[in-house]
């Protein structure tokens, strides 16, 4: 499992935000948005799941999500 996932969130007004996801954030995301995906032995988070998480955290819909880096 990654130690850190750095993402860039683009908004509809040409601005962007940076966010850092820890292993706890990834676990919480999979529990809340994973829709039954297996995450105990191997974690794989789809961009759509990250987009839903960002929408709930920032209370606005992101235009696009990019993964900047994954650190193991």
- Domains in the chain, number: 1
Dump pLDDT digits (tens) for 13-54.
889 999 999 988 888 887 787 665 555 555 567 788 888 989
Provide the whole-model pTM. Answer: 0.77
Between CA 16 and CA 29 the distance in angstroms is 21
Boundaries of domain holding 36: 4-71
Q: 3 and 57 in contact (C-beta within 8 Å)?
A: no
């Amino acid at each position: 499992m990654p130690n850190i996932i750095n993402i860039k969130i683009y908004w509809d007004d040409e601005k962007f935000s940076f966010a850092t996801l820890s292993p706890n954030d990834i676990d919480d995301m999979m529990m809340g948005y994973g829709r039954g995906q297996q995450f105990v032995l191997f974690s794989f988070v789809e961009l759509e799941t990250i987009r839903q998480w960002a929408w709930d955290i920032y209370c606005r819909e992101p235009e696009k999500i990019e993964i900047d880096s994954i650190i193991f």
